[in-house]
């Protein structure tokens, strides 16, 4: 059975003192995949749904969770397609992803 989790999504520049950016709090089901999360983010920020997406562990930027590149081997090596990975295994309390 799926559970509801709350995400706080920040869009900021590197210097948050000068530009605090914007954020959204989202309630989502924990059984969705990263592509679904990408679509939810597009809608919640009013974006058009174009462009590639990539999710990484905030504390270990080398740890690529998944992305949506077209190439078999992108600039980051092996590609993990975002429709194949559910967020449940990656989003834990207080987790940060980029």
Domain residues for 74? 4-89
Instruction: Give me the number of domains the chain comprises.
Output: 1
pLDDT digits (tens, 9 = 90+) for 24-34: 899 999 899 88
Asked whether residue 95 is assigned to any structural domain, the reply reads no
Asked whether residue 94 is assigned to any structural domain, the reply reads no
pLDDT digits (tens, 9 = 90+) for 46-56: 888 766 777 77
Asked whether residue 96 is assigned to any structural domain, the reply reads no
* Residue 80 confidence (pLDDT): 63
CA distances from 14 to 11, 61, 63, 68, 71 (A): 10, 15, 20, 24, 29
Between 9 and 89, where is the model more confident?
A: 9
């Amino acid at each position: 059975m799926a559970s509801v989790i709350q995400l706080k999504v920040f869009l900021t520049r590197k210097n948050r003192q000068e530009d605090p950016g914007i954020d959204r709090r989202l309630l989502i089901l924990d059984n969705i995949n990263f592509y679904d999360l990408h679509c939810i983010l597009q809608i919640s920020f009013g974006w058009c749904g174009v462009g590639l997406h990539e999710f990484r562990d905030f504390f270990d930027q080398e740890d690529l969770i998944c992305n949506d590149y077209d190439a078999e081997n992108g600039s980051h090596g092996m590609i993990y397609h975002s429709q194949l990975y559910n967020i449940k295994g990656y989003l834990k309390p207080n987790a940060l992803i980029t």
